[in-house]
Amino acid sequence: MNGIHLDAIDRRILEILREDGRASHAHVAKDVGLSAPAVGERIRKLEHAGVIEGYRAVLAPEALGLKITAFVAVAPKPGTRVPDLVTRLLELREVEALHSVAGTYSYLAKVRAASPEALDVFLDSLMMMEGVERTETTMVLRTSTERSAPLPWTS
């Protein structure tokens, strides 16, 4: 955690911002019992320490027509330059997240597609991509929850 100590107020501020990144300092201050400037200073410290990486709009995939979520494990061909393969994978608009993992496969991609047919087209193009030896796909049936990083229990 970059050496920062999180007290109960910092944790509550983070909980509020995790739920609503647009919450005003005044709103947060009222909840945690501090002044708005004091909350602003704590938030700046959390940002500077790298605890808060940024703010972004959270898009609803289904509202955008992306009804299919899948996890695709990718094994590179032996001898493939890893940075080049990662660059090619990140250029695919269907890839929402890409993780380097230990195990049989080297990468795990979270993928969004409009339909099973669109996912099939994506997987075909992925298999044709230079440096990809094999893939394994797990299609999501239902998502119970997706959250940002959990807060640590203790400091």
pLDDT digits (tens, 9 = 90+) for 79-134: 999 999 999 999 999 999 999 999 999 999 999 999 999 999 999 999 999 999 99
Q: Which residues pair with 135 in a beta bridge?
A: 74
* Inter-CA distances, 136 with 20, 74, 80, 96, 142, Å: 35, 7, 18, 17, 19
| Full domain range(s) for residue 16 | 8-48
Per-residue pLDDT at 3: 65
**Claim to verify: residue 85 and residue 44 sit in the same structural domain:** no
The CATH number of whichever domain residue 35 belongs to comes to 1.10.10.10
- % of the chain exceeding 70 in pLDDT: 96
Whether residues 75 and 120 share a domain: the answer is: yes
